Amino acid sequence: MDVAIEESWKEKLHEEFDKPYFEELIEFVKQEYKTQTVYPPGKLIFNAFDSCPFDACKVVILGQDPYHGPGQANGLCFSVNDGIPKPPSLLNIFKEVHEDTGVPIPVSGNLQRWADQGILLLNSTLTVRAGEAGSHQKKGWETFTDAVIQRINDEKENIVFLLWGKYAQDKGSIIDESKHHVLKAKHPSPLAAKWGGWFGSKHFSQTNEYLTKVGKEKIEW
Protein backbone atom coordinates (compact mmCIF):
# COMPACT_ATOMS: atom_id res chain seq x y z
CA MET A 1 0.00 0.00 0.00
CA ASP A 2 1.28 3.46 -0.89
CA VAL A 3 1.00 5.67 2.19
CA ALA A 4 1.53 9.43 2.08
CA ILE A 5 4.13 9.65 4.82
CA GLU A 6 7.61 11.18 5.02
CA GLU A 7 10.10 9.18 2.94
CA SER A 8 12.43 7.95 5.70
CA TRP A 9 9.46 6.63 7.68
CA LYS A 10 8.01 5.08 4.54
CA GLU A 11 11.23 3.13 4.12
CA LYS A 12 11.31 2.03 7.78
CA LEU A 13 7.64 1.08 7.99
CA HIS A 14 6.88 -0.26 4.52
CA GLU A 15 6.41 -3.79 5.83
CA GLU A 16 3.61 -2.59 8.13
CA PHE A 17 1.74 -0.98 5.26
CA ASP A 18 1.25 -4.31 3.51
CA LYS A 19 -0.02 -6.21 6.54
CA PRO A 20 -3.71 -7.15 6.67
CA TYR A 21 -4.37 -5.20 9.89
CA PHE A 22 -3.12 -1.97 8.30
CA GLU A 23 -5.18 -2.43 5.15
CA GLU A 24 -8.27 -3.01 7.32
CA LEU A 25 -7.39 0.04 9.42
CA ILE A 26 -7.09 2.30 6.38
CA GLU A 27 -10.44 1.09 5.01
CA PHE A 28 -12.05 1.86 8.36
CA VAL A 29 -10.46 5.31 8.52
CA LYS A 30 -11.46 6.16 4.94
CA GLN A 31 -15.05 5.20 5.67
CA GLU A 32 -15.06 7.29 8.84
CA TYR A 33 -13.82 10.38 7.00
CA LYS A 34 -16.55 9.88 4.39
CA THR A 35 -19.41 9.48 6.85
CA GLN A 36 -18.35 11.28 10.05
CA THR A 37 -16.47 14.33 11.23
CA VAL A 38 -12.99 13.03 12.08
CA TYR A 39 -9.89 14.74 13.44
CA PRO A 40 -7.23 15.68 12.55
CA PRO A 41 -7.76 16.70 8.89
CA GLY A 42 -6.78 13.82 6.64
CA LYS A 43 -3.63 15.51 5.37
CA LEU A 44 -2.35 15.77 8.97
CA ILE A 45 -2.84 12.15 10.09
CA PHE A 46 0.90 11.47 9.72
CA ASN A 47 2.05 14.98 10.65
CA ALA A 48 4.17 13.69 13.54
CA PHE A 49 6.24 11.68 11.05
CA ASP A 50 6.28 14.32 8.33
CA SER A 51 7.59 16.86 10.85
CA CYS A 52 10.28 14.62 12.36
CA PRO A 53 12.13 12.33 9.93
CA PHE A 54 13.53 9.07 11.32
CA ASP A 55 17.16 10.20 11.34
CA ALA A 56 16.29 13.52 12.99
CA CYS A 57 14.34 11.94 15.85
CA LYS A 58 16.03 12.29 19.24
CA VAL A 59 13.07 12.57 21.63
CA VAL A 60 9.73 10.73 21.65
CA ILE A 61 6.65 11.91 23.56
CA LEU A 62 3.78 9.44 23.68
CA GLY A 63 0.16 10.55 23.76
CA GLN A 64 -3.06 8.59 23.48
CA ASP A 65 -5.76 10.10 21.22
CA PRO A 66 -5.97 13.26 19.13
CA TYR A 67 -8.10 16.03 20.58
CA HIS A 68 -11.71 15.59 19.49
CA GLY A 69 -12.88 19.21 19.51
CA PRO A 70 -13.23 21.47 16.44
CA GLY A 71 -9.94 22.87 15.13
CA GLN A 72 -7.79 21.39 17.89
CA ALA A 73 -5.94 18.36 16.54
CA ASN A 74 -3.01 18.88 14.18
CA GLY A 75 -1.43 15.44 14.18
CA LEU A 76 1.05 16.15 16.97
CA CYS A 77 0.28 14.77 20.42
CA PHE A 78 -0.72 17.36 23.04
CA SER A 79 -0.50 20.10 20.37
CA VAL A 80 -3.26 22.40 19.12
CA ASN A 81 -3.41 24.75 16.17
CA ASP A 82 -2.48 28.42 16.46
CA GLY A 83 -5.31 30.48 17.90
CA ILE A 84 -6.94 27.54 19.71
CA PRO A 85 -7.14 27.75 23.53
CA LYS A 86 -4.67 25.48 25.28
CA PRO A 87 -6.30 22.32 26.69
CA PRO A 88 -5.65 21.76 30.41
CA SER A 89 -3.00 19.05 29.93
CA LEU A 90 -1.05 21.21 27.50
CA LEU A 91 -1.23 24.18 29.86
CA ASN A 92 0.17 22.01 32.64
CA ILE A 93 2.98 20.92 30.32
CA PHE A 94 3.87 24.56 29.65
CA LYS A 95 3.68 25.38 33.37
CA GLU A 96 6.17 22.60 34.13
CA VAL A 97 8.44 23.74 31.28
CA HIS A 98 8.41 27.22 32.81
CA GLU A 99 9.08 26.01 36.36
CA ASP A 100 11.78 23.60 35.18
CA THR A 101 13.64 25.72 32.63
CA GLY A 102 12.41 29.30 32.99
CA VAL A 103 11.01 29.37 29.45
CA PRO A 104 7.91 31.61 29.39
CA ILE A 105 4.53 30.02 28.69
CA PRO A 106 3.99 30.60 24.95
CA VAL A 107 1.00 32.30 23.41
CA SER A 108 0.36 29.42 21.02
CA GLY A 109 -0.19 25.79 21.93
CA ASN A 110 1.18 24.62 18.58
CA LEU A 111 4.10 22.26 19.26
CA GLN A 112 5.32 22.27 15.68
CA ARG A 113 8.50 23.99 16.89
CA TRP A 114 9.22 20.97 19.09
CA ALA A 115 8.67 18.54 16.23
CA ASP A 116 10.99 20.59 14.02
CA GLN A 117 13.78 20.06 16.57
CA GLY A 118 13.58 16.26 16.48
CA ILE A 119 10.72 15.42 18.85
CA LEU A 120 8.35 12.74 17.59
CA LEU A 121 4.99 13.77 19.07
CA LEU A 122 3.29 10.41 18.68
CA ASN A 123 -0.27 9.60 19.61
CA SER A 124 -1.04 5.91 20.03
CA THR A 125 -4.19 6.39 17.96
CA LEU A 126 -3.84 8.80 15.04
CA THR A 127 -7.50 9.62 14.35
CA VAL A 128 -10.69 10.19 16.34
CA ARG A 129 -14.36 10.88 15.66
CA ALA A 130 -15.50 14.38 16.64
CA GLY A 131 -16.70 14.56 20.22
CA GLU A 132 -16.02 10.87 20.88
CA ALA A 133 -12.79 10.29 22.75
CA GLY A 134 -11.32 6.86 22.09
CA SER A 135 -13.66 6.17 19.16
CA HIS A 136 -10.84 4.96 16.90
CA GLN A 137 -9.06 2.87 19.50
CA LYS A 138 -8.58 -0.86 18.91
CA LYS A 139 -8.95 -0.52 15.15
CA GLY A 140 -5.26 -1.08 14.36
CA TRP A 141 -3.57 2.22 15.11
CA GLU A 142 -2.06 0.88 18.34
CA THR A 143 -0.46 -2.01 16.46
CA PHE A 144 1.01 0.44 13.98
CA THR A 145 2.39 2.81 16.62
CA ASP A 146 3.80 -0.13 18.58
CA ALA A 147 5.73 -1.00 15.42
CA VAL A 148 6.99 2.60 15.23
CA ILE A 149 8.29 2.45 18.80
CA GLN A 150 9.86 -0.94 18.16
CA ARG A 151 11.65 0.35 15.07
CA ILE A 152 13.03 3.37 16.94
CA ASN A 153 14.06 1.13 19.84
CA ASP A 154 15.85 -1.36 17.60
CA GLU A 155 17.53 0.92 15.08
CA LYS A 156 18.46 4.01 17.08
CA GLU A 157 20.39 4.73 20.27
CA ASN A 158 20.24 7.37 22.99
CA ILE A 159 16.65 8.41 22.32
CA VAL A 160 14.84 10.18 25.17
CA PHE A 161 11.37 8.71 25.72
CA LEU A 162 8.99 10.83 27.79
CA LEU A 163 6.24 8.58 29.16
CA TRP A 164 3.52 10.50 30.98
CA GLY A 165 0.86 8.43 32.71
CA LYS A 166 0.16 4.72 32.93
CA TYR A 167 -1.06 4.36 29.35
CA ALA A 168 2.17 5.75 27.87
CA GLN A 169 4.30 3.80 30.32
CA ASP A 170 2.58 0.53 29.45
CA LYS A 171 2.98 1.24 25.73
CA GLY A 172 6.64 2.07 26.29
CA SER A 173 7.36 -1.17 28.13
CA ILE A 174 9.08 -2.55 25.01
CA ILE A 175 11.80 0.12 25.15
CA ASP A 176 15.31 -1.09 25.95
CA GLU A 177 16.41 1.18 28.80
CA SER A 178 20.02 0.11 28.38
CA LYS A 179 20.05 1.79 24.94
CA HIS A 180 17.71 4.71 25.56
CA HIS A 181 16.86 7.24 28.28
CA VAL A 182 13.33 6.73 29.62
CA LEU A 183 11.71 9.37 31.84
CA LYS A 184 8.38 8.61 33.53
CA ALA A 185 5.90 10.87 35.31
CA LYS A 186 2.22 11.16 36.07
CA HIS A 187 0.04 12.41 33.22
CA PRO A 188 -0.19 16.23 32.99
CA SER A 189 -4.00 16.14 33.08
CA PRO A 190 -5.49 18.35 35.82
CA LEU A 191 -6.62 15.46 38.04
CA ALA A 192 -3.30 13.60 37.86
CA ALA A 193 -1.31 16.81 38.30
CA LYS A 194 -3.43 17.75 41.32
CA TRP A 195 -2.46 14.58 43.13
CA GLY A 196 1.23 15.06 42.46
CA GLY A 197 3.81 13.42 40.26
CA TRP A 198 3.68 15.80 37.31
CA PHE A 199 4.78 19.18 38.61
CA GLY A 200 8.41 19.00 39.66
CA SER A 201 9.21 16.05 37.40
CA LYS A 202 11.78 18.20 35.57
CA HIS A 203 11.67 16.12 32.42
CA PHE A 204 12.56 19.04 30.19
CA SER A 205 15.84 19.96 31.88
CA GLN A 206 16.68 16.25 32.28
CA THR A 207 16.09 15.71 28.58
CA ASN A 208 18.53 18.46 27.68
CA GLU A 209 21.12 17.24 30.18
CA TYR A 210 21.03 13.80 28.59
CA LEU A 211 21.10 15.10 25.02
CA THR A 212 24.15 17.21 25.89
CA LYS A 213 25.83 14.21 27.50
CA VAL A 214 25.43 12.09 24.35
CA GLY A 215 26.56 14.90 22.04
CA LYS A 216 23.18 15.97 20.66
CA GLU A 217 21.78 19.48 20.42
CA LYS A 218 19.49 20.58 23.23
CA ILE A 219 15.79 21.28 22.71
CA GLU A 220 14.65 24.89 22.84
CA TRP A 221 11.49 24.31 24.82
State the Cα angle at 111 between 107 and 115, rounded to 5°.
150
Active site residues: 65
Residue 211 half-sphere exposure, CB side, CA atoms within 13 Å?
Answer: 21
Cα–Cα distance for residue pair 159/32, rounded to 1 Å: 34
**Mapping DSSP to helix (H, G, I), strand (E, B) and coil, where does residue 181 land?**
strand
State the Cα angle at 121 between 116 and 124, rounded to 5°.
155
Cα–Cα distance for residue pair 163/160, rounded to 1 Å: 10
CB 186 within 8 A of CB 198: yes
Beta-strand pair 181-185/160-164? parallel
